[in-house]
Amino acid sequence: MTSTIGNSAETAETDSEATDLGAIRLDAVILGAGVAGLYQLHQLRTQGLQVLAIDSASDVGGTWFWNRYPGARFDSEAYIYQYLFDEDLYRGWNWSEKFPGQPEIEQWMHYIADRLDLRKDILFDTTITSAHFDEQRDRWTIRTDSGQVFDAQFFVSCAGMLSAPMDQVFEGQETFRGQLVHTSRWPATGLDVTGKRVGVVGVGATGIQVIQTIADQVDHLTVFARTPQYVLPMKSPAYGPAEQEAYKARFAELSTTLPHTFTGFEYDFVHTWADCTPERRREILEEIYADGSLKLWLAGFAEMFFDPRVSEEISEFVREKMRARLQDPRLIDILVPTEYGFGTHRVPLERGYLEVYHRDNVELVGVRANPITRIVPEGIELADGTVHELDIIVMATGFDAGTGSLTRIDIRGRDGRRLADDWGRDIRSTMGLQVHGYPNLLTTAIPLAPSAALCNMATCLQQQTEWISDVIAHVRAQGGSTIEPTAAGEQAWVDHHEETVSANLISKTSGWYLGSNVPGKPRRVLSYTGGVGTYRARCDDEAAAGYPNFLIK
């Protein structure tokens, strides 16, 4: 087979299953062309590797390609959700506001791809269906849905933590007579909700953005709410040339500080609850609440994550704010959380969301006691037999986070072991960068590394891809053919992760942070909670010590 793909791919020459299939031989295949995949591609190409990125999407962007639903926008400040390896690249893009919407973020990703000339080494509209490690040759055989076969020494996953949609949730979805759409598969050509009866299932971060955006366009909006969320009001001031110059002038400072804060955001935990009087605590809470960002969550009082009394006081502060806006006891009952502490679930930012429920055309249906049982041709049916008739159903039902994008692929490592089986028993990894039993599979955004939204992902993904590039360079410089974490090294990381999370109140809750939105998924806090700076230091130490928890051969 002659390759027309990638910068300099060749046909495999050695005797193998891959050769028989006419596989295209590469040094590395990268899965995904989002924030991680683009930078990984740039780095490996700079090292001189023959490398190709593959994405199911028809252009770059990952999350920002797929999530086109109305109201999709950043919860990270735009000027920190950035690549920081090149000041010219940083300075070359002008954000129009503090928390821009999806169209602008997608344009920024196009800007990155254009500036780094990445598209020529990306295969779009192509899904990787299987990846098998060939132990005789120490190489991966990677197959796609269009029948191509790639033979690569390294298989680098940049598949995303939130890219496997939970879109098959209810019995009878296929019977619905109207349009049913998952938020992350919103049609690129748009979906006209004007004058329609629309149902939104889910009130997480995404549901909230959709609801507050479409409420005044639809004829009637029915919101199906199961798990209430603590919400924080967003302030997104517009940026003109002066504001743009001001954040650009901070490039050196941000490059130095962001990688080392607790969450990869510009702010950090600076207050100590125990050191403050009740009046001072209140003052601080009011001040950071008024910031209109995630500060109350990620730069308030760290004790909130560990001390149930502090958690309760801060939770009550947020509840008070929500109750004051909702007023109606029925709305308060359905929408204000009481069963878990503020910050132990993903905290959404919103703009006028709670006020939406005061509109005449908006109906709130609590589905905790009276759950959705199935989708019927007319709409959504609840356990008590009520049917809500709808023209459009928006599934804001989230993702199979962390593991779903890889377990949906047939990935087989040493001894034919399947990743879906391994993770179906126990979700494990070594620093989120490799999994024991899968040599030369290098991973970003998988469990046991810091991840959304306990991390500003641009910060974390840069660090992870840089670590991967360095380790690949190291293996090649040593003349090695494989790298794999040792069983003991992996166990040590899992133990460290568990020790860290067990002190954190997040581990006492349920929700997608623990995989409990996916039936049968083993329970584990998916994100590393020891802090982005600490995590980075441990990764750096591992490299500096010559990768003692990995076997290179």
Ligand X SMILES: Cc1cc2nc3c(=O)[nH]c(=O)nc-3n(C[C@H](O)[C@H](O)[C@H](O)COP(=O)(O)OP(=O)(O)OC[C@H]3O[C@@H](n4cnc5c(N)ncnc54)[C@H](O)[C@@H]3O)c2cc1C
* Three-state DSSP string of 55-101: CCCCCCCCHHHHCCCCCCECCCCCCCCCCCCCHHHHHCCCCCECCCE
State how far the Cα of 414 lies from the Cα of 396, in Å rounded to an integer. Answer: 37
Would you give the distance in Å from CA 433 to the centre of its chain? Answer: 15
Q: Restricting to residues 305-334, which ones interact with ligand X according to CB under 6 A?
A: none
Q: Is 205 exposed, middle or buried (0-12, 13-18, 19+ CB in 10 A)?
A: buried
Binding-site member from 25, 43, 68, 74 for ligand X (CB under 6 A): 74
Binding-site member from 23, 26, 35, 285 for ligand X (CB under 6 A): 35
Return the range that interacts with ligand X (CB under 6 A); candidates 130-138, 254-262, 357-365, 450-458: 450-458
Provide the greatest CA pair distance for the chain.
Answer: 74
Interface with ligand X, residue 36, by CB under 6 A: yes
Q: Restricting to residues 75-94, which ones interact with ligand X according to CB under 6 A?
A: 75-76, 81
Where does 192-266 have alpha helices with state H? 205-214, 241-248, 251-257
Binding-site member from 6, 32, 450, 511 for ligand X (CB under 6 A): 32
Note whether 156 and 128 are within 8 A (CB).
no
Return the range that interacts with ligand X (CB under 6 A); candidates 34-42, 252-260, 381-389, 470-478: 34-42
Interface with ligand X, residue 511, by CB under 6 A: no
Q: Is 411 helix (H, G, I), strand (E, B) or coil?
A: strand
Interface with ligand X, residue 445, by CB under 6 A: yes
Q: Which is nearer to ligand X, 81 or 230 (CB)?
A: 81
Interface with ligand X, residue 457, by CB under 6 A: yes
CA proximity to 261, closest of 230, 291, 232, 302: 302
End-to-end CA distance of the chain, in Å? 31
Q: Restricting to residues 459-498, which ones interact with ligand X according to CB under 6 A?
A: 461
CA proximity to 515, closest of 456, 447, 449, 457: 447
State how far the Cα of 154 lies from the Cα of 160, in Å rounded to an integer. Answer: 18
Q: Which is nearer to ligand X, 399 or 550 (CB)?
A: 399
Q: Restricting to residues 42-61, which ones interact with ligand X according to CB under 6 A?
A: 54-57
Q: Is 284 helix (H, G, I), strand (E, B) or coil?
A: helix
Interface with ligand X, residue 427, by CB under 6 A: no
The amino acid occupying position 219 is D
Return the range that interacts with ligand X (CB under 6 A); candidates 17-25, 71-79, 171-179, 249-257: 71-79
Return the range that interacts with ligand X (CB under 6 A); candidates 167-175, 252-260, 449-457, 532-540: 449-457
- Rounded to a whole number of angstroms, the minimum distance from the CB of residue 540 to ligand X is 21
Q: Which is nearer to ligand X, 74 or 170 (CB)?
A: 74
Interface with ligand X, residue 456, by CB under 6 A: yes
The amino acid occupying position 453 is A
Return the range that interacts with ligand X (CB under 6 A); candidates 17-25, 70-78, 330-338, 544-552: 70-78
State how far the Cα of 111 lies from the Cα of 43, in Å rounded to an integer. Answer: 17
Q: How many residues sit in the footprint of ligand X (CB under 6 A)?
A: 38
The amino acid occupying position 257 is T
Binding-site member from 6, 62, 228, 348 for ligand X (CB under 6 A): 62
CA proximity to 449, closest of 532, 509, 547: 532
- Rounded to a whole number of angstroms, the minimum distance from the CB of residue 457 to ligand X is 3
- Rounded to a whole number of angstroms, the minimum distance from the CB of residue 106 to ligand X is 11
Interface with ligand X, residue 229, by CB under 6 A: no
Q: Restricting to residues 130-159, which ones interact with ligand X according to CB under 6 A?
A: 158-159
Interface with ligand X, residue 37, by CB under 6 A: yes
Interface with ligand X, residue 160, by CB under 6 A: yes
Q: Which two tokens stand for residue 299?
A: 């730069």
User: Which residues have a Cβ under 8 Å from the Cβ of 344 and sit 6 or more positions away?
Assistant: 305, 311, 505, 506, 508, 509, 513
Interface with ligand X, residue 18, by CB under 6 A: no
Q: Is 336 helix (H, G, I), strand (E, B) or coil?
A: coil
Note whether 478 and 543 are within 8 A (CB).
no
Q: What are residue 28's phi and psi, to 5 degrees? A: -150, 140
Q: Restricting to residues 178-207, which ones interact with ligand X according to CB under 6 A?
A: 206
Binding-site member from 44, 72, 113, 442 for ligand X (CB under 6 A): 72
Interface with ligand X, residue 165, by CB under 6 A: no
Q: Which two tokens stand for residue 461?
A: 């993904």
- Rounded to a whole number of angstroms, the minimum distance from the CB of residue 451 to ligand X is 8
CA dihedral defined by 336, 342, 345, 350, rounded to 10 degrees?
60
Interface with ligand X, residue 40, by CB under 6 A: no
- Rounded to a whole number of angstroms, the minimum distance from the CB of residue 531 to ligand X is 15
Interface with ligand X, residue 259, by CB under 6 A: no
Q: Which is nearer to ligand X, 22 or 101 (CB)?
A: 101
Q: Which two tokens stand for residue 38?
A: 């683009």
Residues at the site binding ligand X, with contacts judged by CB under 6 A = 31-37, 54-57, 62-63, 65, 67, 72, 74-76, 81, 127-128, 158-163, 206, 405, 409, 444-445, 452-453, 456-457, 461
